[in-house]
C-alpha cells in the first residue's frame, strides 16, 4: 500500500506582508515529503477555511507576524469547525507571546513555532500528529 502524502495548507492571514518565513516553511514541508498548498499574502480567515475544505487538507499552518494572532487563529479554528473539519490540525508560527500561545492551545490550536525554530521541527511535529490522529483513518 502506498502511503499518501500529508496535505498542508500554509496561509498568511490578515494584513501582514512578510511572507519569507511562510515560503521557507512551505518549501521545507515539501522537502519532507508533504503536499503543500500555499495561499499567498493577505488571506481572510474565510478564504483560508474555504481553501482548506476544498483542498481536503490535514493541516492548516498559519504564519502571523502582525500581532493579530489572538483574532486570526481562533477565527480560522471556528470556521473549520463550522465546516465539519474538527479533525484538522491548526498549527503555525510567528511572534507570539508565551501567554498567548498557552491561551490559543487551550482553544485547540496545535503547537506554535517562534522565530529561529528549525524547519525540521515543524515537519516532525506535523508527521507525528498525523501518525497519531490520521494514519488509522486511512483505508
Model confidence pLDDT, tens digit, residues 98-137: 999 999 999 999 999 998 999 999 999 999 999 999 876 5
CATH of the domain at 129: 3.40.50.280
Q: Is residue 109 part of a domain?
A: yes
Q: Is residue 1 part of a domain?
A: no
Q: Is residue 38 part of a domain?
A: yes
Question: What is the pTM (predicted TM-score) of this model?
Answer: 0.94
**For residue 18, what pLDDT is reported?**
86
Q: Which domain holds residue 29?
A: 7-134
**d(C-alpha 78, C-alpha 67), whole Å:** 19
Q: Is residue 40 part of a domain?
A: yes
The number of C-alpha atoms within 13 Å of 67 and in the hemisphere containing its C-beta is 0
Q: Per the structure, how many domains does the chain have?
A: 1
Amino acid at each position: 500500500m502506498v502511503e499518501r502524502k500529508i496535505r498542508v495548507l500554509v496561509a498568511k492571514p490578515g494584513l501582514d506582508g512578510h511572507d519569507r518565513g511562510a515560503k521557507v516553511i512551505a518549501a521545507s514541508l515539501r522537502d519532507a515529503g508533504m503536499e503543500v498548498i500555499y495561499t499567498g499574502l493577505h488571506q481572510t480567515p474565510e478564504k483560508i477555511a474555504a481553501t482548506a475544505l476544498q483542498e481536503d487538507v490535514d493541516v492548516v499552518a498559519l504564519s502571523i507576524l502582525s500581532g493579530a494572532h489572538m483574532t486570526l487563529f481562533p477565527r480560522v479554528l471556528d470556521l473549520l469547525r463550522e465546516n465539519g473539519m474538527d479533525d484538522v490540525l491548526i498549527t503555525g508560527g510567528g511572534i507570539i507571546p508565551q501567554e498567548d500561545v498557552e491561551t490559543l492551545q487551550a482553544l485547540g490550536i496545535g503547537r506554535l513555532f517562534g522565530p529561529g525554530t528549525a524547519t525540521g521541527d515543524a515537519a516532525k511535529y506535523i508527521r507525528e500528529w498525523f501518525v497519531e490522529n490520521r494514519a488509522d483513518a486511512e483505508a
